[in-house]
Amino acid sequence: NKLFMQEAIGAEYGEGFETFRQDGPLKVDVDFLNDRLQEGFLQRIRYAMKPDEAYGLIFSWDNVVADTRTSKVNAWKQLASEEGKEIPEADDVQRMMLLAGADHVLHKVLFWEKAQSEVERLKLRFSQIYYNNLLTLMKPVDGLEEWLDAVSTARIPCAVVSSLNRRNMVDALERMGLLKYFQAVVSEEDGMESIAHRFLSAAMKLDRKPSKCVVFEDDPRGITAAHNCTMMAVALIGTHPAYDLVQADLAIGNFNELSVINLRRLFANKGSTFMDRQKQIIKDAPPKRKLTVDTI
């Protein structure tokens, strides 16, 4: 159901999640991870020699790894065909079908059914069609495999996050030939309640502090969640136009525009971004000139 509802962004004001250890529950939030995942002495030496290895890359599944937008549109069209309904061709309707939850689409966009029992039946059938469409995915978005190959050569660890269950994700990554590039997978089984929690979980699995991670997203809400986690955000233009993604640290049309040097540039001005605390510098006022007879 998380696939068809608008999830919370998460991580506002230090919000975190709990994980369980042998000595009891452990509260995990952004500040905790940035402090706990500090590099050790030998790691600092290694990262000084090979700075790219200090980064961690986190990829959202939807429309960043796989073109789920087409799968979702085709699922709505097949459902409409089975129910003898028609889908309006208006751009705003098509956009809401992609971005809104299934409940909202059925009630407020398509106006198909009013009874809740019938809505639940349609939602269940829609999810079945959508999952069947995911089974036919055979290739990733353009340029992604080449980009993953480049960062793999630079020994930068990668993670993929989604609300899908692990089995479907791993199967899809294997079919697309991408599973070897991802060191971590965050899925439905991880029990994360928000977008930001998934990003923090991915940072833990990659053993990289959040402030050294870069999130690849196509949704403004995901970009906000990344910034709440002190992560950098690279936006993929497509589902949302470029003017909706201005808060991202970098916006690209496809992965062919990227190189590893872009990652270094994202962190080159670290300390001057809006996420970091700044010290206010108060300059001393210049001394007043004393007027003398010669000055006059």
> What is the band of 41 on the pLDDT scale with cuts at 50, 70, 90?
low
Distance set, CA 132 to CA 9, 71, 172 (Å): 28, 9, 12
Question: Residue 234's closest CA among 208, 265, 205?
Answer: 265
Output the pTM of the full model. Answer: 0.79
Highest mean pLDDT among 35-39, 89-93, 228-232: 228-232
Cα–Cα distances in Å, from 184 out to 8, 57, 77, 180, 199? 22, 10, 34, 10, 11
pLDDT tens-place string over residues 81-137: 888 888 887 777 777 777 777 777 877 778 776 677 888 888 888 888 888 888 888
**CA–CA separation, 271 and 142 (whole Å):** 33
Question: Could you tell me the fold of the domain covering 18-62+149-274?
Answer: Rossmann fold (3.40.50)
Torsions phi, psi of 69, nearest 5? -60, -45
Confidence of residue 180 (pLDDT cuts 50, 70, 90): very high
Cα distances (angstroms) measured from residue 58 to each of 71, 108, 113, 205, 244: 22, 34, 38, 11, 21
Give the mean pLDDT of the chain.
Answer: 80
Task: Evaluate if residue 32 carries a pLDDT over 90.
Answer: no
d(CA 185, CA 171): 12
